[in-house]
């Protein structure tokens, strides 16, 4: 192979690597918006997918167990200081606002801290918000997989001056999925409960 040809090949390789990095950067940007941002879910990006996890009663469940209901899916963790409680409270008030129609909706919290959020821990937590709220945990691999499917970013952060030891940064969208688990829309964690209930109702 000539030196010129090798040079050309190397150039093409560099361009390919840069292009791949560019795509990775865009994906990372979409993820690196802890508890905020508005772009996720727009366009034709596919969000959601099948999962097998463990609920707050220790039962193995999968996405098909909730088929026929709109799934309201939120990723968070029980030690989250304020963002998760806000989002979950909004979900609870929206559920109450839906009245009898709330039966058509399954609110779900999927933990991004599976090490600490065992079924008993989740059970106590979800019960404090709403009787219909389901809490799901799993192995770190199961959680990583479902988070990937939902394009949820989460990352352990070491806390130096806290007995907790670590916190978990995570994106704060609340996803609304249809009766077959397909993405319908999403809410920011700071959406009002009235708005959420109204937009859910529009999807019945
Ligand atoms: Ni949180």
Predicted local distance difference test score (pLDDT) of residue 131: 97
The model's pTM is 0.79
Backbone angles phi, psi at 43, to 5 degrees: 75, -155
Question: How far is ligand 1, taken at its centre, from the CA of residue 77, in Å?
Answer: 6
The fold of 52-201 is Glutaredoxin (3.40.30)
pLDDT band at 75 (very low <50, low <70, confident <90, very high): very high
Dihedral angle over CA of 30, 34, 38, 43, nearest 10: 30
Neighbouring CB atoms inside 10 A of 5's CB total 9
Task: Give the model confidence (pLDDT) of 122-136 as tens digits.
Answer: 999 999 999 999 999
Predicted local distance difference test score (pLDDT) of residue 2: 57
Predicted local distance difference test score (pLDDT) of residue 37: 40
Task: Give the model confidence (pLDDT) of 38-60 as tens digits.
Answer: 444 445 669 999 999 999 999 99
Question: How far is ligand 1, taken at its centre, from the CA of residue 148, in Å?
Answer: 17
H or E segment and range at residue 186? strand 183-187
Question: How far is ligand 1, taken at its centre, from the CA of residue 33, in Å?
Answer: 12
């Amino acid at each position: 192979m000539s030196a010129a040809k090798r040079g050309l090949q190397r150039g093409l390789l560099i361009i390919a690597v840069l292009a791949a990095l560019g795509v990775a950067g865009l994906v990372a940007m979409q993820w690196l918006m802890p508890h905020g941002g508005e772009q996720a879910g727009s366009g034709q990006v596919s969000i959601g997918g099948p999962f097998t996890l463990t609920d707050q009663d220790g039962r193995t469940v999968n996405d098909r167990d909730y088929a026929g209901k709109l799934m309201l899916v939120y990723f968070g963790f029980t030690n989250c200081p304020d963002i998760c409680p806000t989002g979950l409270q909004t979900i609870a008030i929206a559920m109450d606002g839906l009245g009898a129609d709330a039966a058509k909706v399954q609110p779900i919290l999927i933990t991004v801290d599976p090490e600490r959020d065992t079924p008993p821990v989740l059970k106590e937590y979800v019960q404090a918000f709403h009787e219909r709220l389901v809490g799901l945990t799993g192995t770190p691999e199961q959680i990583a997989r479902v988070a990937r499917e939902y394009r949820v970013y989460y990352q352990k952060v070491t806390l130096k001056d806290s007995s907790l030891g670590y916190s978990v940064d995570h994106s704060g969208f609340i996803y609304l999925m249809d009766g077959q688990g397909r993405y319908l829309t999403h809410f920011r964690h700071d959406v009002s409960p009235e708005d959420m209930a109204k937009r859910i109702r529009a999807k019945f």
